[in-house]
Amino acid sequence: MEIHQAMTEQAMKFSFYPAHAFTNTAFLELSDLVVSLAPGTLKNNSRVWVTCTGTDATDDAVRLARQYWVEKGQSSKYQVISRWQAFHGNNIAVAGFSGLTGRRKIFQPMYIDSPHIPPAFCYRCPYEKTYPQCNLLCARALDTMIRQQGPENVAAFIAEPVVGAALGCVPAPDGYFQIIREICDRYQVLFIADEVMTGWGRTGKMWGVDHWQVTPDIIATAKGMTAGYTPLSAIIARDDIWAVLQENHSPFKAGHTLNANAVSCAGAIAVIQYMQKNHLVENAAARGDQALARLQKIMDARPTIGRISGKGMMFGFEFVQDKSTKEHFPPNKKLSSMLEWAAFDRGLITYPCTGSIDGVLGDMVLLAPPLVITEQEMDTLLEILDQSIDDVEKQLGLH
Ligand SMILES: Cc1ncc(COP(=O)(O)O)c(C=O)c1O
What's the predicted TM-score (pTM) here?
A: 0.98
Least confident of 32-36, 111-115, 198-202, 378-382: 111-115
Asked if pLDDT for residue 15 goes beyond 80, the answer is no
89 lines ligand 1 (CB under 6 A): yes
The pick from 223, 225, 366 for probing ligand 1's pocket by mutation, whose C-beta has the most ligand atoms within 8 angstroms, reads 223
> How does residue 309 score in pLDDT terms, banded at 50, 70 and 90?
very high
Asked if pLDDT for residue 399 goes beyond 80, the answer is no
Average model confidence (pLDDT) for the chain? 97
Q: What is the CA radius of gyration of the chain?
A: 21
For residue 307, the SS3 value is strand
For residue 166, the SS3 value is coil
Mean pLDDT of 98-109: 92
The pick from 50, 53, 55, 225 for probing ligand 1's pocket by mutation, whose C-beta has the most ligand atoms within 8 angstroms, reads 55
54 lines ligand 1 (CB under 6 A): yes
C-alpha of residue 160 to centroid of ligand 1, in Å: 10
**Ligand 1 atom with the shortest distance to the CA of 231:** 10
C-alpha of residue 230 to centroid of ligand 1, in Å: 15
C-alpha of residue 72 to centroid of ligand 1, in Å: 30
Nearest CA to ligand 1 atom 8: 54
- The reported pLDDT for the residue numbered 349 is 98
90 lines ligand 1 (CB under 6 A): yes
- The reported pLDDT for the residue numbered 142 is 98
pLDDT digits (tens, 9 = 90+) for 39-94: 999 999 999 999 999 999 999 999 999 999 999 999 999 999 999 999 999 999 99
164 lines ligand 1 (CB under 6 A): yes
222 lines ligand 1 (CB under 6 A): yes
C-alpha of residue 87 to centroid of ligand 1, in Å: 7
Dist CA 3 CA 227 (whole Å): 10
pLDDT digits (tens, 9 = 90+) for 158-199: 999 999 999 999 999 999 999 999 999 999 999 999 999 999
For residue 218, the SS3 value is strand
Nearest CA to ligand 1 atom 16: 197
Dist CA 131 CA 373 (whole Å): 33
**Ligand 1 atom with the shortest distance to the CA of 164:** 16
**Ligand 1 atom with the shortest distance to the CA of 53:** 10
196 lines ligand 1 (CB under 6 A): yes
Element (H, E) at 79: strand 79-83
190 lines ligand 1 (CB under 6 A): no
Mean pLDDT of 284-293: 98
| Contacts of residue 209, Cβ cutoff 8 Å, sequence gap at least 6 | 39, 40, 161, 177, 193, 195, 215, 216, 219
Distances in whole angstroms, Cα of residue 294 to Cα of each of 111, 365, 384, 386, 388: 42, 16, 12, 10, 15
362 lines ligand 1 (CB under 6 A): no
Do residues 86 and 160 make contact, with C-beta atoms less than 8 angstroms apart?
A: yes
194 lines ligand 1 (CB under 6 A): yes
Provide the H-helix boundaries in 230-278: 239-247, 262-277
Greater model confidence, 274 or 17: 274
- The reported pLDDT for the residue numbered 76 is 98
The pick from 56, 87, 221 for probing ligand 1's pocket by mutation, whose C-beta has the most ligand atoms within 8 angstroms, reads 87
Asked if pLDDT for residue 102 goes beyond 90, the answer is no
| Residue 131: Cβ-neighbour burial (10 angstroms; 0-12, 13-18, 19+) | middle
Looking at the chain, the whole-number percentage of residues with pLDDT higher than 90 is 96
Asked if pLDDT for residue 266 goes beyond 80, the answer is yes
Q: Tell me phi and psi for residue 50, to 5 degrees.
A: -110, 130
C-alpha of residue 275 to centroid of ligand 1, in Å: 21
The pick from 56, 58, 103, 207 for probing ligand 1's pocket by mutation, whose C-beta has the most ligand atoms within 8 angstroms, reads 58
Dist CA 55 CA 53 (whole Å): 5
C-alpha of residue 74 to centroid of ligand 1, in Å: 30
Dist CA 246 CA 337 (whole Å): 49
160 lines ligand 1 (CB under 6 A): yes
| Contacts of residue 341, Cβ cutoff 8 Å, sequence gap at least 6 | none
- The reported pLDDT for the residue numbered 306 is 98
Mean pLDDT of 92-112: 93
- The reported pLDDT for the residue numbered 113 is 83
**Ligand 1 atom with the shortest distance to the CA of 89:** 6
- The reported pLDDT for the residue numbered 1 is 85
Distances in whole angstroms, Cα of residue 35 to Cα of each of 39, 81, 203, 207: 9, 26, 19, 13
Q: Are strands 46-51 and 233-238 parallel, antiparallel or unpaired?
A: antiparallel
Mean pLDDT of 245-266: 96
Asked if pLDDT for residue 393 goes beyond 90, the answer is yes
The residues facing 351 across adjacent strands are 366
87 lines ligand 1 (CB under 6 A): yes
